[in-house]
Amino acid sequence: MSTDVAVRVEDKLFYNRYQVDPGRAHIKVRPHTTPTPQLKALLKACPARCYELNDKGQVEITVDGCIECGTCRVIGEASGDIEWSYPRGGYGVLFKFG
């Protein structure tokens, strides 16, 4: 994955409307020291690039740009790597077109 593609994801999310629910992340990553293969896969498979590596090499999530597709749940919930819910009613992405 080249850097310019990564930059464009943020640009893409900028088109969207969101109602952010501060302090209530609807997806949580299980604390870990070394990421599992599932967590590593999320770095690339998440279409909103919500998952990133921090400087300790752990996978972190920022849910603000989440487009609520469920891909990370399909990959990472069964192994317990993530906890996944929908945002509270009315919060999250607000599609104009869908």
Partner 1 sequence: MIEERFDAIVVGAGMAGNAAALTMAKRGMKVLQLERGEYSGSKNVQGAILYADMLEKLIPDFREEAPLERHLVEQRFWMLDDKSHVGLHYKSDDFNEEKPNRYTIIRAQFDKWFSSKVKEAGATVLCETTVTELAQDAYGKVIGVKTDRRDGEIHADVVVLAEGVNGLLGTRAGLRERPKPDSVALAVKEMHFLPRETIEARFNLKGDEGAVIEAVGTISRGMTGMGFIYSNKECISLGIGCLVSDFQKTGETPYGLLERFKQHPSVAPLIEGSEVKEYSAHLIPEGGYNAIPQLCGDGWVVVGDAAQLNNAIHREGSNLAMTSGRIAAEAIFQVKSRRDPMTKENLSLYKKMLEESFVIKDLKKYKDMPALLHNQSQNFFLTYPQLVSKAMQNFVRVDGTPKKEKESSTLRSFVSARSWTGLFGDAFRFARAWR
Sorted by sequence, the CB contacts under 8 Å of residue 30 that are 6+ apart come out as 80, 81, 82, 83
HSE-up of residue 5 (Cα within 13 Å, Cβ side)? 6
Residue of the chain from 20, 64, 71, 83 that contacts partner 1 (CB under 8 A): 71
Residue of the chain from 13, 27, 29, 61 that contacts partner 1 (CB under 8 A): 13
Any idea what the Cα angle at residue 28 is, between residues 88 and 23, rounded to 5°? 50
Nearer to partner 1, 58 or 83 (CB): 83
Nearer to partner 1, 20 or 45 (CB): 45
47 near partner 1, judged by CB under 8 A: yes
45 near partner 1, judged by CB under 8 A: yes
